[in-house]
A and B are shown apart, each in its own frame.
Chain A
Amino acid sequence: DAKTTQPTSMDCAEGRAANLPCNHSTISGNEYVYWYRQIHSQGPQYIIHGLKNNETNEMASLIITEDRKSSTLILPHATLRDTAVYYCIGPLLPQGGSEKLVFGKGTKLTVNP
């Protein structure tokens, strides 16, 4: 399974942008990168995904480097409710047709008042 590398933890002030980096150097050309988050033992929540272009939705923005070896998830105005573990998930490998998600340890983001 492809591996991603994320910092263990980060802090952010409420109202400021939170920038969460991820290294996915083994990604290949047609493979997507996904971001999920998990708020304190709740079910993981899908945030955003991307292939090669930058993406934005109502939750976040995703910036992917030109070589596609790393990406940054941006929460433009972090709130206390954004405190969670954020998972950057490498390509879904359709081995035998499965699109299982391979979760690493993620980044524990703490938004401080």
Chain B
Amino acid sequence: GAVVSQHPSRVICKSGTSVKIECRSLDFQATTMFWYRQFPKQSLMLMATSNEGSKATYEQGVEKDKFLINHASLTLSTLTVTSAHPEDSSFYICSAQRIRPGHDNSPLHFGNGTRLTVT
């Protein structure tokens, strides 16, 4: 089946540094990928929609200059947390939609998430 790979699974960085998280669709092309953030005991909150070849669409309240998204190819989207602060510590999850022509819905496949800890 379809698989979405997210890397790294865990990262610890110092305050003020930048961290890049990769999301790859391994056996299908994804023109659209999504980035979510999940705080402890909270649900997933959509941060932004990553569109291949164009600018990402950010949800209200998400700083586009802080969370840089690049979707350079049909199988790779990256999220860069710039000038990270301890409050950015969270679980970041990506998903990619596998388009199935002729079907009523095209399922989302989620990565295994990245646990970011900013010290």
A binds B: no
Using CB atoms and an 8 Å cutoff, list the residues of chain A in contact with chain B.
none
